[in-house]
Structure 1
Amino acid sequence: MAVKLVLLGKLADLAGAPEMNLNAPLNWNGLLDALHGPLGEAAQGEKVKLARNGKILPDKTALFAQDGDEIALLPPVSGG
């Protein structure tokens, strides 16, 4: 049973990969436990958004992902 975590931008760089598989079920605290060091710290940032199955959650702490779900951590968009 797994949840697919998609990481974009700087978060993918911190993880060293654009995707990870995590054990399901998964809540916010479980996600933070799975993300070590700078990646976990960055995920908690106020401007980082969290989506479950393509829908952005208004409150990251409300995350509850089950087997087969896809969650994504979305850093702020930057550009020139």
Structure 2
Amino acid sequence: MPEFTKFVEDLKRTRDEIRLQIHLASKELQEEWAEIESRWSVFESKAELDKSAKDVNDAVKILGAELKEALTRVRKAL
């Protein structure tokens, strides 16, 4: 689980960094950010549930990977 915990912490840090810059972004990026924030809530709640499980649910891994990809896109666009 330490690997997954690090992954979640990295996503949180990236999200926080981008959130500080997003107010200067284009409308298109702001809309993508709104979608990421919506998905973040789902991810975070599932990640909390999975902390106590032995194996991380595949759906949470996929959602995490999608969030990481979306955060990378937004960071590059900034």
TM-score (norm 2): 0.27
TM-score (norm 1): 0.27
Structure with bigger RCO (C-alpha 8 Å, 6+ apart): 2
Higher fraction of strand: 1
Larger radius of gyration: 2
